[in-house]
Amino acid sequence: MVSQLIQTRFLQLIRPGRSGEIFVVLAAFVIVLVTVYLTSRGWKAFLRRLPIVDGIEAAVGRCAEMGRPVFFSSILGTLDKTEAAQTLASLSTLGYVAKLAARYDVPIIVGVGVPETIPLIDDIVRGAFTEEGKLEKYRKEETIRFLAPDQWGFSSAVMGTLRRNPTGANVMIGEMRGDTLMYFEPGAETGSLQIGGTSTMSNLQWVAVATDYSAIGEEVFALAAYVSKDPVLTNTLFGEDLVKFGLIAYVLAGILLAAGGSDLLVSLLRM
């Protein structure tokens, strides 16, 4: 009776070919909810320290010593397309960078390419300065600079900004395209520490080679959780690893079954 109901009602509602995906997402939801529950009971997962976190701290400290500003940008990542998660993760990291900048009295410049992120950036930087008790030092006009919404206009503006205001550190996390090197190489030339992060597959290699500290792939999202210091968020990273191990097991089982002539697991994903 129940299985008939599921088959006739529920499965017909799901778009063809997406049943496998929805199962993974639902499993992830359940794991997150369990994590929230366990955290409320005092559980704390061990978390390896990400090198980029040390890099960010060193970068802002370096700016304080050199008397130079720190430059941050989430580049051209929008809030309404596939890169939205990456953009939001980048903005979460901005909160941490801004907090350090406020603590050490380092001027921060945020280069903006996507206009709809301006109110969020304003809230984040204002919040960070308030937390450090230095709201009076926050100059919105000097901090948030809308450069250009166009890819090449934005990269040109970033190059110009970095040359006109030599920075001590250049933190760029978000969606990167063919212009990736235009963000990091001018910074390297003017002697600033390069910190980059992206999960855009086509440009991971440039971030890895052109920066001093990098976060690639899922590290961008892990970084956002790590710097929040919220135990629920950091504990969910443990859940992420569980799903990852599950998928590795699935892939291995799929390889063994395929070697035996069965495509059962592949068909399940395409359901």
Partner 1 sequence: MADIKTTGPFLVVSIAALLTLAEYYFVGPQISDAARTLGSWVVIILAFSLIMATGRSFLYHMREVRRRAVGTWYYSLWFMILVVVLFSVGTYETPNGPNYVWWQTWIMGTTVGGIYVVVGMWMISAVFRTFRVRSLYTLGSVVALCLFVFGWILPIGESVAGLPPVASWLYDVVLTGSWRGVIMGAGIGIVYYGIRTILMRERRIFGA
CB 110 within 8 A of CB 128: no
Give the residue, chosen from 49, 80, 136, 260, that forms a contact with partner 1 under the rule CB under 8 A.
Answer: 80
Q: Which of residues 191-230 bind partner 1 (CB under 8 A)?
A: 199, 201, 204, 206, 209-210, 216-222, 224-225, 227-228, 230
Q: Which of residues 100-119 bind partner 1 (CB under 8 A)?
A: 112, 115-116, 118-119
Provide, rounded to whole angstroms, the least separation between the CB of residue 49 and partner 1.
18
Provide, rounded to whole angstroms, the least separation between the CB of residue 133 and partner 1.
15
Site track 5-34 with partner 1 (rule: CB under 8 A), x = hit: --------xxx--x--xx-xx--xx--x--
Say whether 172 sits in a helix, a strand or coil: strand
Provide, rounded to whole angstroms, the least separation between the CB of residue 92 and partner 1.
4
Neighbours of 188 (CB within 10 A): 16
Provide, rounded to whole angstroms, the least separation between the CB of residue 116 and partner 1.
4
Which is nearest to 127 in space by CA: 116, 138, 114? 138
**Which string of b and e fits 220-245 if b means at least 16 CB within 10 Å?**
bbbbbbbbeeebebbbbbbbbeeeee
- Return the CA Rg of the chain: 22
Stretch that binds partner 1, among 45-53, 122-130, 166-174, 261-269 (CB under 8 A): 122-130
Which is nearest to 159 in space by CA: 234, 71, 76? 71
Residue written as token pair 């569980």: 242
Give the residue, chosen from 123, 263, 264, 268, that forms a contact with partner 1 under the rule CB under 8 A.
Answer: 123
Give the residue, chosen from 51, 67, 133, 160, that forms a contact with partner 1 under the rule CB under 8 A.
Answer: 160
65 binds partner 1 (CB under 8 A): no
> How many residues lie near partner 1 (CB under 8 A)?
78
Residue 251 structure tokens: 């892939």
CB 40 within 8 A of CB 141: no
- 267 Cβ partners below 8 Å, 6+ apart? none
264 binds partner 1 (CB under 8 A): no
Provide, rounded to whole angstroms, the least separation between the CB of residue 63 and partner 1.
21
Which residues are 72's β-sheet partners? 110, 171
Give the residue, chosen from 60, 100, 106, 125, that forms a contact with partner 1 under the rule CB under 8 A.
Answer: 125
Q: Which of residues 132-151 bind partner 1 (CB under 8 A)?
A: 141, 145-147, 149
d(CA 79, CA 82): 8
